Amino acid sequence: MDIKITCLVLAAGLSSRMTIGNKLLLKIKNITVIENTIKNLYKSNIDDFLIVLGHQSNLLSKALKNFKLSLIINDSYKEGISSSIKKGISKIDDKSNGVMICLADMPKITSKTYNILIDKFKYFYDISTPLIILPEYNGKTGNPVILSNHFFSELKKISGDIGAKFLIKKNKKYIKKVILSEKYILEDIDTLEKYKELIKDEK
């Protein structure tokens, strides 16, 4: 069976906690945060790419001009992350067996890590049983999460700024945790302190 996974990158947020501007447009070694994230995803074995933009979508579109991506504009981005997930899920190809929900401000997750999660999903996927692949590092769960197409209709109904967390919590019996050795699955860049840590690591 040919199992297809769509990558849904969430990049529509306000960056309200970042005091020096849009976190996705900050630079790491002369490349923006969002370009770093997409570059690593591009090297992975993902089948299809969708990226949801909202806040400063024109600037982010320019930053991504060198990538072949399906850009989706979420005009309701101020309603929280759920609005972007719903917008993205509604655009996913019917043939997709699962969605890997990625946060655009996690530029240090490697393509190797993405591939481990993709391989686990393909190994466990069964057309008759829901499946959630959840990465874990040092006892803490992180991102990205892969959800099978069994959850697509529910994902179209979520609300607020908690994303798919409630849905995952409600469906614990379908979770397969994947223990990883990469701490970056826990590290998004929401604040200036986190950005400073990130660029310090790069020196």
Q: For 99-149, what is each residue's pLDDT tens digit?
A: 999 999 999 999 999 999 999 999 999 999 999 999 999 999 999 999 999
pLDDT of the residue at 60: 93
Q: Is residue 200 over pLDDT 80?
A: no
3-state secondary structure 46-98: CCEEEEEEECEHHHHHHHCCCCCCEEEECCCHHHCHHHHHHHHHCCCCCCCCE
pLDDT, tens digit, for every residue of 181-195? 999 999 888 888 888
Residue 61's Cα: distance from chain center in Å?
A: 17
pLDDT of the residue at 203: 56
Whether omega before 144 lies within 30 degrees of 0, making that bond cis, reads: yes
pLDDT of the residue at 18: 81
Secondary-structure breakdown of the chain: helix, strand, coil percentages, each rounded to the nearest 5: 40, 25, 40
pLDDT of the residue at 11: 93
Residue 176's SS3 state is strand
pLDDT of the residue at 152: 95
Whether the CB-CB separation of 53 and 65 falls below 8 Å is answered with: no
3-state secondary structure 19-39: CCCCHHHCEECCEEHHHHHHH
CB proximity list for 13: less than 8 A, separation 6 or greater: 54, 55, 77, 81, 84
Q: Is residue 94 over pLDDT 60?
A: yes
**Class for the domain spanning 5-202:** alpha beta
Q: 33-42 and 111-124 are packed helices; what angle lies between their axes, rounded to 10 degrees?
A: 50
The whole-number average pLDDT for the span 68-87 is: 91
C-alpha–C-alpha distance, residues 165 and 119, integer Å: 22
Domains in the chain: boundaries: 5-202
C-alpha–C-alpha distance, residues 142 and 160, integer Å: 19
